[in-house]
Structure 1
Amino acid sequence: MSNLVRSASLTNYSEIARAVGINPLALLAEVDLNPGCLHDPDMRIPSQAVRDLLENSAIASGMDNFGLRMAETRQLSNLGAVALVAREEPTVRRVVRAMMRYSHVLNESLFVELEEANGIAVMREEFLVGQSGSSRQSTELLVGVMFRNLKFFLGPAWNPLRVCFSHSPPRDPSLHFRIFGYGVYFGQDFNGLVCTTSDLDAPNPMADAVMARYARQVLEASAGSARTSAVDSVRNILLVLLPSGQCSIEQVAQQLGVDRQTVHRRLVREGTAFREVVNAIRRELAAHYIDDGTRPLSQVAELLGFSALSAFSRWYKQQFGEVAGLRRRMHDGAERPDRPEGHKR
């Protein structure tokens, strides 16, 4: 079953498409999206179709910053009912956590995580992997929207310490610099924003405790019928845990606030098992990292939670029936384009 997203994710799509010389209706038809989704922000549409639409639009227009162009004019109100909850929270930290809590209402394939340590806060935003292909445009739209939402609360002069993207740099990064400032880094281990914890401590002068309670009640009532499946809940957590190597069923259960038997039972009811979910997400990520070609195999092994390159190599051969290094060399020779240089950590 396809994950769904609010059609508000396509706000400004038609205007941006026409501005760069492409036909929005023709491109919608290519991915079987009803043109009505451009006018009804609460229509639920397949997130895979939205991702494909943005990638196809970038290719058709020759604009590899198409998603960021869409993000440039977004407003907090585009979040719909989630904006009502976020706007009434007392601090920016509570605003961020509210948007995290209800992210599935906006996009069922979205994962958002906030980590704080030593005065630094990292807001990581990722998509659940599913089918092959790039998600560059959707990722830049997502990070751009979060950036603009934080500016709404922290003021136009605010900028994060870093804006991080896991993909390679664009041909021309000038739009990224104009929107985010010069703290933009590509080829990173995650997609998202880095700021200080003191930024998150900032008060929200618009907060209203009574309205916040009401907004949460309304949103939770409307979201009750769209609960995340057990498989997607486990995948969400594995996306965070895999690079640490701590991805056992016990650790996932702890993150979900249940015991390991409960996780096992929920997955069985959905026709799968924990090890199958782990292998599935590793296969999807491995295929992406190997074909992308920007990371050494030792780093790919680490990102997939393997303690050593040799363990990853054995697993890859078992799963794909070929040697990872050979696959990388074949893909590099046949398809890998020249990559522009960009900022790296």
Structure 2
Amino acid sequence: MEFFAGRARQLLIFDDGYLIFDDMDPFIRTTSFAGFRELVDSLGGDHALLLERFRIKPELIDEEDARVPLRSLVGLLESAAQELDCPDFGLRMAEYQNLQVLGPIAVIARNAVTAGHALAEIVRFIGYHSSGVQLDLDRSEPQAPRLLIGLRLPGLMQQRQMVELAMGVAHNTMKLLYGTSFKAHSVLLAGVSPLPLARYRRYFQTEVYTGQACNALILTNQQLDQRIEQQDPTLHRTLVRYLSQFNLQASSDVVEQVQRLVLRMLPTQQCRLPLIAEQLGLHVRMLQRRLEEQGCKFEELVEAIRRDRADAYLAERDIPLAQIAGMLGYSEQSVFNRACRRWFAMTPNERRRLLREQRAKER
């Protein structure tokens, strides 16, 4: 790895030499491939051929500090699930993983005071593990804290297997932090899945709801307040200082903070600038000024997020248009219809057909 002015560029060696990808391209540490070989081989596949197809050398996944483009892992999981006729591939792979795939972030978490403190630290430093994985510990509902999980990956790639892998790992992480008796209050999954609900309930051992506006583990305050035994405060402080020097905390960027809050608040139909500013502890004018310094306006950010999420929801065949309108923060479907014509010069149904055709061609 080479470092330039505090920013990292990863050099990946392929057959044709070096591929350099900038840190603006979402990456992920190869520890997230844990279990891939074993699972593929158990299903009768050839893990080496699958890895080579996505230009990932098999030996690379044994290197703890190696990084690859996130879209390579996302595409790899989708291809493996389809070719091996294993629609729950992501969940099965999650059974091989837990908090330890996060490397030094795992050590920080295991030496935090409580499970909630540990989750906050994971959210804070997740950028070290992957610049494309989005985590947020939402405590805006006092009796129902949520660990939100998503991907920052432009385009219309299928992402279900990777999302379910991440959700499974988050569940396993809580088992390590809280104890083997951990069970989320409930689990939310965005989109519509071909898997029966019983499969998710069997994995998470709790109620699961699909077709939601986000992916999340709904927790309890008791679970977050659970103290972690045998923590080492000195080791915790040392590693926090070490990771902080790379400035990898995603929430340090006001634009990303606003984006995360917008995603959280859109389905409540309360996504307004004053409320966002209040959440950030800023005066409305101060927030506007900070956004302008980044070349952004609040209304433009909301519009861009709505357009992006509209495509993600419309690509799922079975989510009703009225439900999509609500998840985007619109009180009426007619408002969503007008927005769709403004964004894409077509109706929601026409856009849905186009997206389905595009996905079919990619397979």
Whether TM-score is above 0.5 comes out as: yes
Query: 1:138 and 2:148 equivalent?
Result: no
Is the strand fraction higher in 1 or 2? 2
CA distance in 1, matches of 2:199, 2:349: 36
Q: Is the 8 A contact 2:325 2:336 kept in 1?
A: yes
CA distance in 2, matches of 1:250, 1:99: 28
Q: Is the 8 A contact 1:58 1:65 kept in 2?
A: yes
CA distance in 1, matches of 2:166, 2:238: 27
Residue number among 8, 12, 21 corresponding to 2:44 in the alignment: 21
Query: 1:90 and 2:113 equivalent?
Result: yes
1:318 counterpart residue number = 342
* Change beyond 3 A, Cα 1:290–1:121: same
Aligned partner letter, 2:190: S
Secondary structure of the structure 2 residue equivalent to 1:165 = strand
Q: Is the 8 A contact 1:7 1:37 kept in 2?
A: yes
Of all paired residues, the percent bearing the same amino acid is: 27
2:266 counterpart residue number = 242
Deviation at 1:31, TM superposition (A): 2.7
Aligned partner letter, 2:188: C
| Unaligned stretches of 5+ residues in structure 2 | 1-23
What are the Cα deviations for residues 134-187 of structure 1, in whole angstroms up to 9, with x where unaligned? 211111111111111111122222211212222334445665344322523322
1:160 counterpart residue number = 184
What are the Cα deviations for residues 190-216 of structure 1, in whole angstroms up to 9, with x where unaligned? 212122211211111122323222221
Query: 1:289 and 2:304 equivalent?
Result: no
Q: How does 1:109-128 map to 2 (within 5 A)?
A: 109=132, 110-115=134-139, 117-128=141-152
Aligned partner letter, 1:292: E
Q: Is the 8 A contact 2:125 2:249 kept in 1?
A: no
What are the Cα deviations for residues 206-264 of structure 1, in whole angstroms up to 9, with x where unaligned? 2232322222112212x326867665454333321322334445555555555667766
TM-score, reference length from structure 1: 0.84
* Change beyond 3 A, Cα 1:259–1:60: farther
Deviation at 1:305, TM superposition (A): 2.1
* Change beyond 3 A, Cα 1:21–1:271: farther
Deviation at 1:97, TM superposition (A): 1.2
Secondary structure of the structure 2 residue equivalent to 1:314 = helix
Q: Is the 8 A contact 2:269 2:331 kept in 1?
A: yes
Query: 1:210 and 2:245 equivalent?
Result: no
Residue number among 58, 63, 78 corresponding to 1:40 in the alignment: 63
Q: Is the 8 A contact 1:27 1:57 kept in 2?
A: yes
Deviation at 1:95, TM superposition (A): 1.3
2:322 counterpart residue number = 298
* Change beyond 3 A, Cα 1:263–1:26: farther
Secondary structure of the structure 1 residue equivalent to 2:158 = coil
What are the Cα deviations for residues 253-290 of structure 1, in whole angstroms up to 9, with x where unaligned? 55555566776676667666544433332222111212
CA distance in 2, matches of 1:142, 1:225: 19
Aligned alpha-carbon RMSD (Å): 3.0
1:193 counterpart residue number = 217
